[in-house]
Amino acid sequence: MDWARTYDVLVVGGGNAGLCAALSARRAGASVLLLESSPRELRGGNSRHTRNLRCMHDQPADVLTGSYPEEEYWEDLRKVTGGQTDEAMARMVIRRSATCRSWMAGHGVRFQPSLGGTLHLSRTNAFFLGGGKALVNAYYRAAEALGVDVAYGAEVRELELTGGRFLSAAVTVKGFGNRARARTLVAAAGGFQGNTAWLREAWGPAADNFIVRGTPYDDGTVLKLLSGAGMRTVGDPTQGHAVAIDARAPRFDGGIVTRVDCVSLGIVVNKHAERFYDEGEEFWPKRYAIWGRLVAQQPDQIAYAIIDAKMPGTFVPPVFPPVEAPTVRELAVALRLDPAALERTVEGFNRAVRPGTFDHAVLDGCATAGLSPPKSHWARRLDTPPFAAYPLRPGITFTYLGLAVDERARVLAADGKPSDNVYAAGEIMAGNILGKGYLAGIGMTIGTVFGTIAGEEAARHAAR
Amino acid sequence: MRPADRLPPELAAEGERVMRLCNACRYCEGFCAVFPALERRLSFAEADLVYLANLCHNCGECWYACQYAPPHEFELAFSRTLAQIRAASYQQNVRPRALAGLLRHGGRTAAWLSAAGLLLFLALELARGGMAGLVAPHADAAGAFHALLSHGAMVAVFLAAGLWAAAALALGLAAFWRQTGERFGDLVASRAAARGFWDALRLRYLDGGGGGCAYPDEVPSPARRRLHHLTVAGFGLCFASTSVAAVYHYGLHLPAPYPILSLPVVLGTLGGAGLLAGPAGLLWLKLRRNPAIVDPAQTGLDVGFLVLLQLAAGTGLLLMALRQTAAMGTLLALHLGLVLALFVTMPYGKFVHAVYRYAALVRYALEQRRPRAAR
Ligand SMILES: Cc1cc2nc3c(=O)[nH]c(=O)nc-3n(C[C@H](O)[C@H](O)[C@H](O)COP(=O)(O)OP(=O)(O)OC[C@H]3O[C@@H](n4cnc5c(N)ncnc54)[C@H](O)[C@@H]3O)c2cc1C
Ligand code: SF4
Ligand code: SF4
């Protein structure tokens, strides 16, 4: 890259959203500089850990089965967000999601026919062949081929704006300061989940027990700089996507493998060996995104998913082996829980289980009676040793507090007027659509749609 | 299991660890047969590791796609671990076991046996015609080869070598199959066997799930698959040429060498060209491939086999071109020596991969018919 040059478009963040912006801006003829704060080997932010995106379609299409019309997509989104969304913007994204795949394929992304997957998503979601890192690699190759300048290990530390107009960015590249100048800025630097101090501000000391599922480089610097420069934000800093993951996961970047998919099959207890939520309320894929928050609300933010020997084989085997014991009492000892309390909980649960025919593929009739909280489906007695437990912690995927934008991806100033030359895409603005809740695969859809819009708009603006 | 049949404990432990990771992740399931096969399993015993490792072509796709590859703290190098397990499994299944050392030093084995082959045929030629016969120019007339070398001796040597190689390979295959616990009948005569054979032959999974695979570098490319096809086709044509020549000899009583436009020579020339170009391309790719994805300990085995194929083909073509000159005698001995080494080293060199890949793909086809565990 050339630090002396004034580029048409400066893209900050080399994940899915930033890459989509860089590619579409370059295609529109703009000169583009993309800055990515991680080293090359760890490029791609959270996008590197993804697997699919959610697409609208009116009939079976390439890798997607059946149909997923706009209305159904919108209804799904409205439900999970409890209406905390912007309908016009959301519908725009949904409609554009129908044509994303061909644009993506045109830049080297390959899709795979779903071989089953865990989430039964082959109707609504298109899976990337090889996952998100393969997607990111393909985009970087395409960017290189098109002549996008890319700098790795390049962290934006300061932004120079006057009256809401972007002028330049102060960048640290491997410890040395530089200044990047451009006519437009696309902010695609992710959420702030990688920033432990900020999480603590929002969540209090509980945040120290959170595990970050994705990149440590999404530390919210750009979000903070732009809101500090008078841009409007949307959303609540405690809102985001969080799931319950294996407590033994690495502090960052554990990604998908730390998932524990047996919650709905057994019971989950807290550190007092007490159950706290209906484990069988709904299919796991529809509920896994609430369990991060549920565990975060428990004392010391820890919980244990407990199953017996009947259950392995009916869920994806987690990466870390479970803690096992021949009796419930010994399991409690191994987990350092109160043995009497765990025995009481398991006995109480076993007594409440009503007879039924177990079938994990449907909302079966196996439920408890007279138990609080109840278990509404897949309730089977825990009676076959060895008993096994997986410790759980809240695993935060990404935060929703973001920059307010309009449908042209222009960042809004405090007075609600769109900025002249600042655009945003991806996690950093997902809160416009996701006030709360989550719909699997919509993160990449938002990033792809807004990324391509931001790139086109920025290129057009720079050419004026 | 005998101690010799065990994987080194660290390798087995690492194999189990990487399988657990991939089984919890499954992002690569569209690339090849390895992932769908591992997803059927909850645990990974040594026999499972060996089977899975022999399904892998080491195409590299899963290295570039893996979010857990170094510098991630999980340091997942899936394809390299599989390559190491594969190499260990070749060792386990060498028959007779006493010859495992030949395979371990595959490159050296190929070189020594080639030299031995050359000496053997030189000796046979000298025994028949003496020094004068060896260096005399030859008329391009039918029977010239056999003036130098008794046809009977030649057939005897190659028959013995061929039978030896076939028997050793068959025993290795049987040992591999026994480990899988599948029925023997299914290996040779079943729909799964037909499927496995066809998938092995067309390199179905050396395609990165469509569009080529990440070899020699990150960019998906069909190059390796095409060059491998070229090599196999060259091998097949040379084999066909020899078979036709045998028919000419025994059926039509026409002794070699044959005219340039005869069927054996045309087939042999095309085959020889394939065996020069295919391995040359594969070697070129090998030079440029990413060292992170491979097991460097196996380079000798791979290179030894490819070079031997080329030398055998190259000397065959030279022999045809120079068969009227004084060099013919020496070239004939050289060519036959190399071909003999090729046969003898089949069970102790890279060639074994074809046998085990076939068996692994048959097992894969068998498993595909069975209901799978929940996802
Ligand atoms: C384990 C996991 C699985 C997921 N699976 C899915 C899925 O299957 N489908 C789906 O839709 N979503 C999924 N998500 C969510 C998805 O990752 C995000 O919605 C999406 O990737 C966001 O893309 P992005 O480009 O906005 O952010 P990112 O991909 O995180 O990219 C932001 C980039 O900005 C860089 N950056 C940050 N600050 C700076 C700075 N100051 N200077 C320079 N660069 C900076 C970072 O290094 C990073 O590379 C998953 C997330 C995780 C963690
Ligand atoms: S190689 Fe890596 S990305 Fe691929 S399935 Fe295994 S863990 Fe997942
Ligand atoms: S290297 Fe290629 S063939 Fe081997 S497991 Fe990975 S993707 Fe499959």
Query: HEC states along chain B?
Result: CCHHHCCCHHHHHHHHHHHHHHHHHCCCCCCCCHHHHHHCCCCCCHHHHHHHHCCCCCCCHHHHHCCCCCCCCCCCCHHHHHHHHHHHHHHHCCCCHHHHHHHHCHHHHHHHHHHHHHHHHHHHHHHHHHHHHHHCCCCCCCCHHHHHCCHHHHHHHHHHHHHHHHHHHHHHHHHHHHHHCCCHHHHHCCHHHHHHHHHHHCCCCCCCCCCCECCCCCCCECHHHHHHHHHHHHHHHHHHHHHHHHHHHHHCCCCCCCCCCCHHHHHHHHHHHHHHHHHHHHHHHHHHCCHHHCCHHHHHHHHHHHHHHHHHHHHHHHHHHCCCCCCHHHHHHHHHHHHHHHHHHHHHCCCHHHHHHHHHHHHHHHHHCCCCCCC
Nearest CA to ligand 3 atom 1: B58
The C-alpha atoms of residue A459 and residue A32 are separated, in whole angstroms, by 9
A46 lines ligand 1 (CB under 6 A): yes
Q: What is the mean pLDDT of residues B124-135?
A: 84
Both tokens assigned to A78 = 């409205």
Q: What is the mean pLDDT of residues A126-147?
A: 97
Instruction: Please check the confidence at residue A77 and state whether its pLDDT lies above 70.
Output: yes
- Selected residue of B44, B67, B75 to mutate for chain A interface (largest A Cβ count, 10 A): B67
pLDDT value for A449: 98
A37 shares its domain with A165: yes
A98 shares its domain with A165: yes
The range of the structural domain enclosing residue A110 comes to 6-238+400-462
**A133 close to B64: Cβ distance less than 8 angstroms:** yes
CB-defined site of ligand 3, < 6 Å: B 28, 31-32, 34, 56-62, 78-79, 82, 205
The C-alpha atoms of residue B175 and residue A189 are separated, in whole angstroms, by 55
Q: pLDDT, tens digit, for every residue of B163-175? A: 999 999 999 999 9
**A408 close to A418: Cβ distance less than 8 angstroms:** yes
pLDDT value for B326: 87
pLDDT value for B209: 85
A217 lines ligand 1 (CB under 6 A): yes
Interface contact flag, B67 A130, Cβ < 8 Å: no
Instruction: Please check the confidence at residue B139 and state whether its pLDDT lies above 80.
Output: no
How do the domains of chain B map onto residue ranges? 103-183+204-351
pLDDT value for B127: 87
A88 shares its domain with A159: yes
The C-alpha atoms of residue A236 and residue B37 are separated, in whole angstroms, by 44
pLDDT value for B269: 95
b (16+ CB within 10 A) / e for A37-76? bbeeebbbbbbbbbbbbbbbbeeebebbeeebeeeebbeb
pLDDT value for B156: 93
Both tokens assigned to A166 = 């972007």
Q: What is the mean pLDDT of residues A328-353?
A: 98
Q: Does residue A20 lie within any of the structural domains?
A: yes
Of A113, A129, A259, the CB nearest to B24: A259
Of B42, B65, B73, the CB nearest to A312: B42
Instruction: Please check the confidence at residue B68 and state whether its pLDDT lies above 80.
Output: yes
Q: Model confidence at B107, in pLDDT bands (50, 70, 90)?
A: confident
A368 shares its domain with A452: no
B177 CA → ligand 2 middle, Å:
27
Boundary residue ending a domain (A395, A418, A435): A395
Q: Model confidence at A14, in pLDDT bands (50, 70, 90)?
A: very high
Q: How far is B31 from chain A (nearest CA, A)?
A: 7
The C-alpha atoms of residue A122 and residue A235 are separated, in whole angstroms, by 31
Interface contact flag, A317 B68, Cβ < 8 Å: no
B29 part of contact set with chain A, CB < 8 Å: yes
A319 part of contact set with chain B, CB < 8 Å: yes
Q: Judge if pTM exceeds 0.90.
A: yes
Domain holding A382: CATH number?
A: 3.90.700.10
B32 CA → ligand 3 middle, Å:
6
A18 shares its domain with A155: yes
Q: How far is B45 from chain A (nearest CA, A)?
A: 15
pLDDT value for A372: 95
B220-279 residues touching A, CB cutoff 8 A:
220
Instruction: Please check the confidence at residue B294 and state whether its pLDDT lies above 90.
Output: no
> Ligand 1 pocket check: which of A11, A16, A43, A46 to mutate, most ligand atoms within 8 Å of Cβ?
A46
Average pLDDT of chain A, as a whole number? 95
Q: pLDDT, tens digit, for every residue of A385-395? A: 999 999 999 99
Interface contact flag, A316 B218, Cβ < 8 Å: no
Q: Model confidence at A62, in pLDDT bands (50, 70, 90)?
A: confident
Q: How far is A18 from chain B (nearest CA, A)?
A: 19
Domain holding A23: CATH number?
A: 3.50.50.60
A246 shares its domain with A226: no
> Token pair 């042209």 is at which residue?
A408
Q: pLDDT, tens digit, for every residue of B204-244? A: 999 988 888 999 999 999 999 999 999 999 999 999 999 99
Interface contact flag, A317 B20, Cβ < 8 Å: yes
The C-alpha atoms of residue B245 and residue B255 are separated, in whole angstroms, by 8
Q: Model confidence at B146, in pLDDT bands (50, 70, 90)?
A: confident
The C-alpha atoms of residue A330 and residue A360 are separated, in whole angstroms, by 28
Domain total of chain A = 2
pLDDT value for B210: 84
Q: Model confidence at A464, in pLDDT bands (50, 70, 90)?
A: confident
Boundary residue ending a domain (A352, A377, A395): A395
Q: What is the mean pLDDT of residues A316-331?
A: 96
Interface contact flag, A41 B73, Cβ < 8 Å: no
At residue A402, φ and ψ (nearest 5 deg) are -150, -175
Q: Model confidence at B128, in pLDDT bands (50, 70, 90)?
A: confident
Q: Does residue A307 lie within any of the structural domains?
A: yes
Instruction: Please check the confidence at residue A232 and state whether its pLDDT lies above 70.
Output: yes
Q: Model confidence at A119, in pLDDT bands (50, 70, 90)?
A: very low
Q: How far is A418 from chain B (nearest CA, A)?
A: 37
More confident residue, A314 or A98: A98
Q: pLDDT, tens digit, for every residue of A256-315? A: 999 999 999 999 999 999 999 999 999 988 888 899 999 999 999 999 999 999 999 889
pLDDT value for A306: 98
pLDDT value for A116: 54
A235 lines ligand 1 (CB under 6 A): no
A130 part of contact set with chain B, CB < 8 Å: yes
The C-alpha atoms of residue A57 and residue A432 are separated, in whole angstroms, by 23
A13 shares its domain with A54: yes
Q: What is the mean pLDDT of residues A440-453?
A: 97
pLDDT value for A451: 98
Q: What is the mean pLDDT of residues A391-408?
A: 97
Average pLDDT of chain B, as a whole number? 92
- Indicate the pairing of strand A125-128 with strand A402-403: unpaired
CB-defined site of ligand 2, < 6 Å: A 131; B 21-22, 25-28, 62, 65-68, 76, 78
Q: Model confidence at B142, in pLDDT bands (50, 70, 90)?
A: low
The C-alpha atoms of residue B77 and residue B17 are separated, in whole angstroms, by 11
Q: How far is A367 from chain B (nearest CA, A)?
A: 21
Q: Model confidence at B17, in pLDDT bands (50, 70, 90)?
A: very high
b (16+ CB within 10 A) / e for A126-138? bbbbbbbbbbbbb
The C-alpha atoms of residue B204 and residue A320 are separated, in whole angstroms, by 33
A214 shares its domain with A269: no
Q: Which residue of B has its CA nearest to A116?
A: B375
A451 part of contact set with chain B, CB < 8 Å: no
Q: Model confidence at B134, in pLDDT bands (50, 70, 90)?
A: confident
Beta pairing partners, A116: none
pLDDT value for A120: 65
- Chain B residue numbers touching A313 (CB-CB < 8 A): 42, 373-374
- Chain A residue numbers touching B74 (CB-CB < 8 A): 250
Q: Does residue A1 lie within any of the structural domains?
A: no
pLDDT value for A80: 92
Q: Model confidence at A115, in pLDDT bands (50, 70, 90)?
A: low
The C-alpha atoms of residue A37 and residue B178 are separated, in whole angstroms, by 52
Boundary residue ending a domain (A351, A379, A395): A395
A232 shares its domain with A269: no
Instruction: Please check the confidence at residue B59 and state whether its pLDDT lies above 60.
Output: yes
Q: What is the mean pLDDT of residues B312-334?
A: 91
A132 part of contact set with chain B, CB < 8 Å: yes
Kindly give the interhelix angle for B328-345 and B151-180, rounded to the nearest 10 degrees: 20
- Long-range contact pairs involving B160-166 (C-beta distance under 8 Å, separation at least 24): B161/B340, B161/B343, B161/B344, B162/B343, B164/B343, B164/B344, B165/B343, B165/B344, B165/B346, B165/B347
- Selected residue of A316, A360, A444 to mutate for chain B interface (largest B Cβ count, 10 A): A316
Q: Which residues contact B233 (CB under 8 A, 6 or more apart)?
A: B271, B274, B278
A233 shares its domain with A334: no
Instruction: Please check the confidence at residue A211 and state whether its pLDDT lies above 80.
Output: yes
A450 shares its domain with A339: no
Q: Model confidence at B129, in pLDDT bands (50, 70, 90)?
A: confident
A382 shares its domain with A234: no
